[in-house]
Each structure stands twice: as structure tokens, then as C-alpha cells.
Amino acid sequence: MDSVAHRLSAVGAGAALELRGVTRLFGALAALTDVTITVRPGERRAVLGSNGAGKTTLFNCITGDFPLSSGTIRFFGEDITHFPPYERIRRGLRRTYQISALFPGLTVQDNVYLACRGVSRGRFSLLRPGQNDALMHAAENLVQAVHLTNVRDQRVAELAHGQQRQLEIALALAGAPRFVLFDEPAAGLSPAERLELIEILTSLPAHIGYIIIEHDMDVALRVVESVTMMHNGRIFKEGLPQEIQSDPEVQELYLGGGHE
């Protein structure tokens, strides 16, 4: 298959994320079949496809939540196929969840602090963070960056939906991320919040690549440089956003066929 990554980067230099023949079976059902994707460092890509196309399963396989039935995954050259999720995260992989996966019993600040702590040393520390704790300050800045400073000390259970979605993103940006998987970050956001989301995504440092699952084409195509279409657990088409958008097969399949 004519890989977008090869067309975008002249030499096939070290890929950020490299999936080879990734297959995931649930019993007799093949959620993913022979998925091969290569993403450059810093590349931003959308994964499109109808419900059940295997997009979220793909994310769960990349993060290690689901073991693969076959295939390999490399992250910046390293074979991470058999790594537990936390080892992948410590190497710079991050993800967000379609349905916010936060810690409702803790404050916003503590949520972000945990995210910062998870990718640094001292996870088992029995000493409370002091006034000048670097991670505490890093967490504060991250809270500020996603515009949640005014609710910093509130329990997450008390936040509005849009705020929870912003916190969801903050958790994925803690530490030094190298590659992020965004699973429908715009789900349930108002038009104004969507604009804010687009601004956050486009202002990420250039070295941070990501894959974004997004049903809203307007959001997806404004924040990515390449697109992978999935259908029934397979890669259906890869290309530049305008190619995909104007592709008649894609329009037939995705935009025509029960798009929500």
C-alpha cells in the first residue's frame, strides 16, 4: 500500500509509531484485521470510519489495553508489542478516552498531579509534595493551559462535561509526551468549545505527533495532515485530507452511509 508517511517524509526515517499486520480477534469476531500503519514523529493523523470500524480497538491495542492476536507494534523503533500499558506510557505514548476516564473523587489539581507523577519517579513516595515541588508546579501550569484554573480545587465529579473533556486532554499532556492518541476529544462539546479544542491541538509543540479519532470532519480535517479510513477492522484508504474528502468511495461509505 502506498503509505502516506513515505510520501510525507522523503526517507523512511525512524517512525514514531509503526504497526505491522496488527490483528485483534474477539472470539470469532475480527475487530482488527492486518492493520499496517506508519506514522512519522510529529505527524498528525485522523482515523475516520463508522461505528464498529475498529478505531477505538486500534487505540486499545496501541496502548496495550488489549493484547494483539497477531502483529507487532513499534514505538520510536522499540518493539512494544508485549509491554504492559504503563511501560508504553513511560516511553512517551499518551491517550485520551472517548468517555472521560478521570478520578472523580480527587480534585482537578490532584488529577493532573497524578498524571505528572505517573511518568516520573517517586510514584510510591510516602512524602507529601512540598511548597516547591516541581511536579506540583508542572500540574498547575497544565491546569492553566486547559483553562481550568478557576476550578482547580474542585472535585472532578462536580465539573461540567466540557471541563471534564479539557481535563481529559490535560492528563494526556503531562510529562514529556512524544505521541498522543485522541479518542473523539470533541464528543459532546459546544461549537465554542470545539474551537477551543482546535486551538489546543494546533498549538501543540511540533515534535508531538498524534492520531485523532473524530466523527466531526470539520474538526478532524483542520488539525491533521493525513487521514486513514477504516472499515470493518481494516484499513480502507490512506491519503491527504483533501484526497479523502473528495474520494467517491469514501463519500459513499462514510458520509453517505448513516453518518451521525
Partner 1 sequence: MSLTHDARVPVRTASGVQRPALRGWPEIDNPAAWIVAIVLLIMPLIANGFFLIEIFATTLILGTIALSLMFLAGYGGMVSLMQLTVAGFAAYMVAVFGTSDNANISLGWPWWLAVPMALALATAFGSLGGALAVRTEGIYTIMITLAIGAAFYYFTNQNWAIFNGHTGINNVGTPRFWGVNWRADIPFYYIVLGVAALCYFAVEYISRAPFGLALQGVRDNPRRMAALGFNVNAHRVAAYAFASFVAALAGVLQVWNYRQISPGSVSVGACIDILIIAIVGGITRPIGPYIGALIFVLLRTFALDFLVKIGLDGNRFRLLIGLGFLAIVFWSSDGVIGLWQRWRERLSTPRSSGGRGHG
Residues that bind partner 1 (CB under 8 A): 63, 65, 84-86, 89-90, 94-95, 97, 101-107, 109-111, 113-120, 122-131, 134-138, 140-142, 144-146, 149, 152-155, 158, 171, 173-177, 200, 203-205, 208
Strands 29-39 and 17-26: antiparallel
Question: Cβ 4 to partner 1, closest distance in Å?
Answer: 25
Q: Which CB sits closer to partner 1, 38 or 163?
A: 163
Q: Is 196:147 a contact under the CB 8 Å cutoff?
A: yes
Strands 17-26 and 70-75: antiparallel
Q: Which CB sits closer to partner 1, 75 or 97?
A: 97
Question: Cβ 64 to partner 1, closest distance in Å?
Answer: 8
Phi, psi of 197 (to 5 degrees): -60, -45
Q: Which CB sits closer to partner 1, 197 or 235?
A: 197
In sequence order, what are the beta bridge partners of 169?
A: none
Place of cell 493484547: 67
Q: Which CB sits closer to partner 1, 177 or 239?
A: 177
Question: Cβ 98 to partner 1, closest distance in Å?
Answer: 13
Question: Cβ 145 to partner 1, closest distance in Å?
Answer: 5
Q: Which CB sits closer to partner 1, 167 or 253?
A: 167
Q: For residues 227 and 237, what is the distance between their CA atoms, to the nearest angstrom? A: 8
Question: Cβ 90 to partner 1, closest distance in Å?
Answer: 5
Phi-psi region of 151 (alpha: psi -120 to 50; beta: other; left: phi over 0): alpha
Cell readout for 138 is 508542572
